[in-house]
Amino acid sequence: MANDYREMWKKLGLDLEAHDRLLQALPPTYGEVYLNQENRPAAMEYFDFVVAEIHGQRIQELQEHKARGGKVIGTFCVFVPEEIVRAAGGICIGLCSGIEMGAGLVEKVLPGSICPLIKSFMGFKLTRVCPYFESCDLVVGETTCDGKKKVFEILSDYVPVHVMEVPQMKRDKDAALWHSEVQDFLARTEELTGQKVTAESLRRAVREVNEKRRALLRLAGLRKNNPAPISGKDSLLIEQIAMYDDVERFTAKVHELCAELEARVAQKKGVKSKDALRIIVTGTPLAIPNWKVMHLIESNDAVVVAEELCTGLRYFKNLVPEEGESTAEITASIAKRYLQTNCACFTPNPGRAEDLVTLAKEYMADGIIHCSLVFCDPYLIEAGRIEKVLEGHGIPLLKIETDYGQGDAGQLKTRIDAFLEMLKEKRKASRP
**Residue ranges in contact with ligand SF4 by CB under 6 A:** 77-79, 115, 117-118, 144-145, 147-148, 284-285, 310, 341, 343, 345, 373, 376, 378-379
Least distance in angstroms from the C-beta of 259 to ligand SF4:
30
- Measured from the CB atom, is 148 or 212 closer to ligand SF4? 148
Q: Which is nearer to ligand SF4, 193 or 311 (CB)?
A: 311
Query: What are the angstrom distances between the C-alpha of 279 and each of 28, 141, 145, 334, 396?
Result: 26, 32, 28, 32, 10
Q: Which is nearer to ligand SF4, 8 or 109 (CB)?
A: 109
Q: How far is the CB of 105 from ligand SF4 (least distance, A)?
A: 19
Question: For strand 91-94 and strand 72-75, is the pairing parallel, antiparallel, or unpaired?
Answer: parallel
Nearer to ligand SF4, 64 or 146 (CB): 146
Least distance in Å: CB of 308 to ligand SF4?
11
> Shortest approach of ligand SF4 to residue 81 CB, angstroms?
13
Distance CA 73, CA 93 (A): 6
- Describe the crossing of helices 327-339 and 199-222 by its angle, rounded to 10 degrees: 30
Is the CB of 282 or the CB of 327 nearer to ligand SF4?
A: 282
Closest separation between CB of residue 124 and ligand SF4, Å?
Answer: 14
Give the nearer residue to ligand SF4 in terms of CB position, either 56 or 123. 123
Residues 6+ apart with CB under 8 A from 292: 402, 404, 406, 409, 412
For 316, list phi and psi in degrees, rounded to 5. Answer: -130, 5
CA distance 119 to 102: 9
Closest CA to 379 of 349, 351, 344: 344
Q: Minimum distance from CB of 370 to ligand SF4 (Å)?
A: 13
Query: Residue 378 CA to chain centroid, in angstroms?
Result: 17
Residue with Cβ nearer ligand SF4 (80 or 279): 80
Length of the chain: 432
SS3 content of the chain, % helix, strand, coil (to 5): 55, 10, 35
Q: Least distance from C-beta 171 to ligand SF4, angstroms?
A: 18
Least CB distance from residue 164 to ligand SF4, whole Å?
11
- CB closer to ligand SF4, 30 vs 379: 379
Cβ at position 13, least distance to ligand SF4 in Å: 26
CA dihedral 39, 44, 49, 51 (to 10 degrees): -90
- CB contact set of 365 (below 8 Å; sequence gap of 6+): 278, 279, 280, 305, 306, 359, 395
Q: How far is the CB of 118 from ligand SF4 (least distance, A)?
A: 5
Q: Residues near 172 by Cβ (< 8 Å), separated by ≥ 6?
A: none
| CB-nearer residue toward ligand SF4: 144 or 331 | 144
Q: Which is nearer to ligand SF4, 253 or 399 (CB)?
A: 399
User: What sign results for the dihedral spanned by CA atoms 373, 79, 33, 21?
Assistant: negative
- Range list of H helices, 2-115: 2-11, 16-30, 45-52, 57-67, 82-87, 103-109
Q: HSE on the CB side for 341, CA within 13 Å?
A: 27
